[in-house]
Every structure is written in structure tokens, then in C-alpha cells.
Structure 1
Amino acid sequence: MKAFDLHRMVLDKVPFEFLWEVALRSLYTFVLVFLFLKITGRRGVRQMSLFEVLIILTLGSAAGDVAFYDDVPMLPVLVVFITLAVLYRLVMWLMSHSERLEDLLEGKPIVIVENGELAWEKLHEENMTEFEFFMELRGQSIEHLGQIRLAIMENNGQISVYYFPDKEVKPGLCILPEGCSERYTSVPETGDYVCVRCSKIVALEAGEKRSCARCANPEWSKASRAIRVT
């Protein structure tokens, strides 16, 4: 093999007509990565939209191949970049004229907590467990869900939180790690208890055993009424 062989570096053994196939392969890869990200959810995406992450992943794959393999010609990879750049600009223009397309590609903000109660079904639709969500909330110094008037998962995966004033804080599920709050399958005294999985609040009698009517979880903890300390 001759080093710095210009023909090998630009086209190698592929014909010039293969560049049209490269454009088609780029679109095919783009669609596959998009479907993968939509199916697996938005978890871990920060500061960027789903569509922007998709572009970066697809371009990164193309760039990686040409950087590491001597039998990958450079010109087809250039076509990949040009195709995706044109596709990106086209899609951004279409999204500015179509709200439905924008919702499909970028997603919609989703209300996860409303009036101190977890929208458990919506959370699971996003392929996020309540434990991961609670970890995100603890990062914002939140002790229990009753402190939250509204928590919204944005389309870039970040969580926006709006709080109750101290005088309006509701009883809610303590979201501190398991060792910081006691859990019961048989409650020790009469009072308000909250399902540790879905945050449903129920008045239980001392010694009562009950599975949650919402998620069938048998564990309960005492509803917390603590106010925020900032």
C-alpha cells in the first residue's frame, strides 16, 4: 500500500456513483438512530434536544470510521456530512412551520408531578423509574413530593420544578434514600401514609396491611409535611 495515495484516500475502490448510495445510507442510519433514541427514551440527554443528539451520534459514527480505517474513503464521508447538514437545516425549517413535526422530533414537555402527586404512568412511558426521577429531585434539595406544585420533564431531559409556598406545602412522599425514612407493610399507627412507589396518599388504621390500589405496591411510609430549607 502506497502512503498518501490520493485516489485511495478520496475514493479507494468505490465508483463515483456510489456516492448516491452513501447519501441513502446516511438517511437510513439517521432514521435508525432516531428510532432507537425514541424507543429508549430521553434519559441522559442534557442541554441538547433529541434531534441534535441524533445528528451528533450519526456524524460521530461517520467521522470515526474514516478516522480509524484505511479502507474507508474520505469523499463518501464528506457526502454523509453534507447530507446530514442539509437534512438538519431542512428539518429545522419544517419544524418551524409544523408543530406536529416538532412534537414528533423534539418531543413535548411532560408534567411528572402535579400538586404533590407523582404522575407515575407518564414517568414510566418515558422509560424512567421513580428512583431515577427522585434522584434528580434530590439534586434540587427537595425532600418530599408535597413541596412540589409542578415538576415538568422538558424535551431535553431536564426537570423544571415549581414549588408550593411554605404555608401551602402538602403531605407527600419522602424521596430521600431508603435508609432515611421507614417503610411499613403493616403500619404502626393511624394516620396518612404514602405509597413509596407511586406517591398515592391513603389514610390507614394502626396495624392495617394494604397494597396500593394504584400500583399494587405493599410498602408505605408516613406522609412527610416538611417545608423546604434553602
Structure 2
Amino acid sequence: MKAFDLQRMAFDKVPPEFLGEVALRSLYTFVLVFLFLKIAGRRGVRQMSLFEVLIILTLGSAAGDVAFYDDVPMIPVFIVFVSLAVFYRLVMWAMSKSEKLEDLFEGKPVVIVEEGKLAWDKVRGANMTEFEFFMELRLSGVEQLGQVRLAIMETNGQMSVYFYRDEEVKPGLCILPDVCIERFTRVPESGDYACARCGEVVTMQPHDHQLCPRCANAEWTKVSLAKRTP
């Protein structure tokens, strides 16, 4: 085999006239996916549950095969789409009747922040790091955890955030990126410090070195008193 053979790289053994069939197959699969999404409802990608994303990935695999491979017939792929559409409708109906089945397919919302602190016991099983949660909170306009009364990671991956009023904001962990805050394993002066992982606030004396009583983390930052900016 000759390396960098442009003929092989562009067409391999496929005749150039097959490109027209590829275009037709691509249009065919586009129409099938479009019809499925119309059946599923008007949801954006971030609004899709894990179950719906799995259905879309399965459709994408079938669509890719029929679009590019000349030995994949089009009618069986149509049956795949119809079968998945019926399955999707049946599962959605069953979930409306059974809360346990809904939890199985859709998952459950996860409480991320409670009363200005990361809900450490509840987020450890969410398969995300605290830095990913902090990123989502920043996208919701949060600068420090003391601004947040309650934050919930919904089953579609979006974050619902409920804020304290300005006069109720607590001292809390600043969740800006590391380049914006300084971390300490041994604090330089007396004051209130927040655990850099879970947000637990502890009063410490100069040169104190201790582990967080909630999550055993050794890094601390000075608490932030920032209020929300309009």
C-alpha cells in the first residue's frame, strides 16, 4: 500500500458516482432524525435527560452507517428509527406511571449547595469534582458560596440556584478560578477561612495547619464577603 495515496485517501474502492448516493442517504437519515426529534418534543441538548441522549446516540450510529456504507440497506434503518420512536414513547408513558422507573431512566436531582456550603455528603456520588460544580455555579452568576441558599443539579445537567437576599449573604468560599484566589495549607493570619473543597468556614489563628472537619481537605482560602452584583 502506498502511503499518502490521494486516490485511496479520497475514494478508496468507492467509485466517484457513489458520492451522489451518499448525499441522498445523508438526506434520508437527516429526515429520519428530524422526524424523531419532532416526536420527542422541542428540547434543546442541555434539556435532554441521560435516557434521551442515549436514544440520540443510537440513532446517530444507525444514521452514520446508512449514510456512508453502500452495503447497509435503507429500509432496515427506517425500522430501527420506528422501533426506537415507539420504544421512546412507551418508556415515557411508563415513567409517567412509575416514579421508580422515572428515577431509573432520568436519574434524580442532586443538591449541590445547602446554606452556603457544598453539600459534601450528597455530591460525592454525583461523579463530578467540586471544580465542575463550581464552574456551573459561576455560569449562574455565583462568586462565593455564601450567596447561595440552595443549588440543585437537575437531571438534564442544568443548575437551579436559589440565592440569599443581599442582607442575608454569608461569608463563604470564593469559587473563582485558582488564578483569582490564594490557597493556604498554613494560614498567614487570624480570621475566618473556607475549605477550598467543600466551603466549610473555620476561624483559625496565624500559622494554623489543620484538615477540614467535613471533607479532610488541607487547603484553605480567606472567606469572601462578596454580595451579588446586578
Instruction: Return the TM-score normalized by structure 2.
Output: 0.77
Structure 2 CA distance for aligned equivalents of residues 46 and 122 of structure 1: 22
RMSD after superposition:
1.9
Alignment correspondent of 2:206: 206
Alignment correspondent of 1:113: 113
Aligned-pair distance for 1:178?
1.1
Q: 1:118 touches 1:198 (CA, 8 Å); kept in 2? A: yes
- Judge which range, 120-129 or 168-177, deviates more: 120-129
Superposed, 1:37-116 pairs within 5 Å as 46-116=46-116
Superposed, 1:76-225 pairs within 5 Å as 76-225=76-225
Q: 2:112 touches 2:123 (CA, 8 Å); kept in 1? A: yes
Give the residue type in structure 1 aligned to 2:57. Answer: L
Q: Which ranges of 4 or more aligned residues in structure 1 deviate by more than 6 Å?
A: none
Give the match's secondary structure for 2:134: helix
Structure 1 CA distance for aligned equivalents of residues 122 and 62 of structure 2: 35
Give the residue type in structure 1 aligned to 2:66. Answer: V
Aligned-pair distance for 1:60?
0.9
Give the residue type in structure 1 aligned to 2:120. Answer: W
For structure 2, the 5+ residue unaligned runs are 1-13, 19-44
Give the residue type in structure 2 aligned to 1:185. Answer: T
Aligned-pair distance for 1:216?
2.4
Structure 1 CA distance for aligned equivalents of residues 82 and 89 of structure 2: 11
Q: 1:120 touches 1:130 (CA, 8 Å); kept in 2? A: no
Aligned-pair distance for 1:122?
2.8
Give the residue type in structure 1 aligned to 2:83. Answer: T
Structure 1 CA distance for aligned equivalents of residues 86 and 121 of structure 2: 38
Give the residue type in structure 2 aligned to 1:58. Answer: T
Give the residue type in structure 1 aligned to 2:180. Answer: C
Aligned-pair distance for 1:222?
1.1
Structure 2 CA distance for aligned equivalents of residues 138 and 112 of structure 1: 13
Q: 1:192 touches 1:201 (CA, 8 Å); kept in 2? A: yes
Aligned-pair distance for 1:157?
0.3
Structure 1 CA distance for aligned equivalents of residues 221 and 155 of structure 2: 32
| Residues 132-189 of structure 1, C-alpha deviations (whole Å, 9 max, x = no match) | 1111111222110000001010110000100000111111100011122221111112
Alignment correspondent of 2:40: none
Give the match's secondary structure for 1:46: helix
Aligned-pair distance for 1:215?
2.5
Give the match's secondary structure for 1:160: strand
Give the residue type in structure 2 aligned to 1:106. Answer: E
Structure 2 CA distance for aligned equivalents of residues 180 and 82 of structure 1: 52
Q: 1:187 touches 1:204 (CA, 8 Å); kept in 2? A: yes
Structure 2 CA distance for aligned equivalents of residues 49 and 186 of structure 1: 43
Alignment correspondent of 1:40: none
Structure 1 CA distance for aligned equivalents of residues 113 and 198 of structure 2: 11
Aligned-pair distance for 1:116?
0.4
Structure 1 CA distance for aligned equivalents of residues 122 and 114 of structure 2: 12
For structure 1, the 5+ residue unaligned runs are 5-44
Alignment correspondent of 1:229: 229
Aligned-pair distance for 1:62?
0.7
Alignment correspondent of 2:6: none
